[in-house]
Amino acid sequence: MAGFNHVVSQKRFVGYFLAAPDLCGVTVFEAIANDETLVVLPRRLDIDIKAADRAELDAGEGGRAPRSTLCRDSAAFRASRHT
C-alpha cells in the first residue's frame, strides 16, 4: 500500500494505492483544499489502473484545468500534480 495527499488548485486529493495482479486499485477522496473540517463532504472515487497506465483527475473549473495524475510504473505507484 502507498498513500498520497496533495493539493492541486482548489482541490485536495487524498488516497491510497493497492497492488493487484495486472492492475492497481486506487481509492481517492476529493475535497476542497482548505476545508480541513470537511464542511462539504468529500467525493470518493475508486479507480482501477492497468499496469503501466495512468488516470487523470480534473482539479480545475473548466478550460485548461490543472490535473492530478495517478499512475503505476512497474512496481512503483505515483501521484503527481500538474498546473
Could you give the CA distance from residue 75 to residue 45 in angstroms, rounded to a whole number?
22
Q: Looking at this protein, which amino acid is placed at residue 28?
A: V
The pLDDT value given to residue 34: 93
Q: How many residues does the chain have?
A: 83
pLDDT of residue 75: 45
CA dist., res. 71 & res. 24, Å (int): 9
Q: Mark the ranges of the chain whose per-residue pLDDT is less than 70.
A: 60-83
- C-alpha distances (whole Å) from 23 to each of 30, 32, 62, 76 are 22, 28, 30, 12
Give the pLDDT of residue 7: 85
- For the chain, domain boundaries: 2-82
C-alpha span between 40 and 47 (Å, rounded): 22
